[in-house]
Amino acid sequence: MNYETIRLSFDNGIMSVVLARPERMNALNSQMRAELLHAFRNLQETMRVVVVTGEGTAFCSGQDLGDGDSIDRPDLERVLRDEYEPMLRAIYDCPVPTIAAVNGAAAGAGANLALAADVVIAAESAVFLQAFTRIGLMPDAGGTFWLPRQVGFAKAMGAALFAEPVTARQASDWGMIWEAVPDEGFADQWRHRAAQLASGPSIAYRNAKRALRESFSNDLATQLDLEAGLQAECGNTRDFREGVLAFLEKRPPRFEGR
């Protein structure tokens, strides 16, 4: 696929995906959703981390309201089922760790695109906005799934109903994101975090993602059984043996991702 609304770059096991419609504050149109879906579904086997960020001053302003159906008879269900759902599932189900590096405003579906990632790192000037009720809609694009799990029911409900901006610092304090970073160090920090994950134990990361996510629907016995099976897989990797040897030798481990 020839990408026109996103840019991909590759460096030492890190795939960077830049949302590249700065003139529209990186708003999501049909083409961008298709390109994001393709990029995540066709991840190269050598990639160990994926980072999504925005070009310009915004991360993503959400749905491009000038794209697609007329506001008189919008087919919102089709767009959500056929375009948003596959894209979001491809990000959420990505086999390697994903980082949303939120460089600016993340609004509506753009905020929930960020929350689909495993880790969200935001510049302190960034804001998160569940803007949907401002135009007579309810949160979608996974917002009603991620928000209550990350910030609790009360904060999620307030964010959905009032549609007020949440600063990056607030989002960090609430547990919505991993960290808020001063703007001047933002790019260096997310690159540092991506490099950390790219040099880490990939199978352990994959299994940790699965165990944490399934914990919301499992009882204790089921979760302990899941942990045992997944940990057995980790214990049979070269990375586990290298990690133990490095600990005993008092040196940094050199993980190979297998």
Question: For 99-119, how does the pLDDT look when each residue is reduced to its tens digit (9 = 90+)?
Answer: 999 999 999 999 999 999 999
Domains defined along the chain, listed by start: 6-198 (3.90.226.10), 202-248 (1.10.12)
Query: Is residue 91 packed enough to be buried (19+ CB in 10 Å), middle (13-18) or exposed (0-12)?
Result: buried
Q: What is the pLDDT of residue 71?
A: 57
Q: What is the pLDDT of residue 121?
A: 98
Question: Is residue 30 predicted with pLDDT exceeding 90?
Answer: yes
Question: Is residue 88 predicted with pLDDT exceeding 70?
Answer: yes
Q: Which of 62, 57, 65, 109 is nearest to 88 (CA)?
A: 109
Write the CB contacts of 232 (distance below 8 Å, at least 6 apart in sequence).
none
Q: Which band of pLDDT confidence, cut at 50, 70 and 90, is reported for residue 258?
A: confident
Write the CB contacts of 109 (distance below 8 Å, at least 6 apart in sequence).
28, 60, 62, 63, 84, 140, 141
Question: Is residue 150 predicted with pLDDT exceeding 90?
Answer: yes
Question: Is residue 70 predicted with pLDDT exceeding 60?
Answer: no
Cα–Cα distance for residue pair 92/106, rounded to 1 Å = 18
Pairing verdict, β 6-11 and 14-19? antiparallel
Q: Which band of pLDDT confidence, cut at 50, 70 and 90, is reported for residue 95?
A: very high
Q: What is the pLDDT of residue 146?
A: 96
Mean pLDDT of the chain: 95
Cα–Cα distance for residue pair 21/28, rounded to 1 Å = 9
Q: What is the largest CA-CA distance in the chain?
A: 68
Cα–Cα distance for residue pair 250/53, rounded to 1 Å = 36
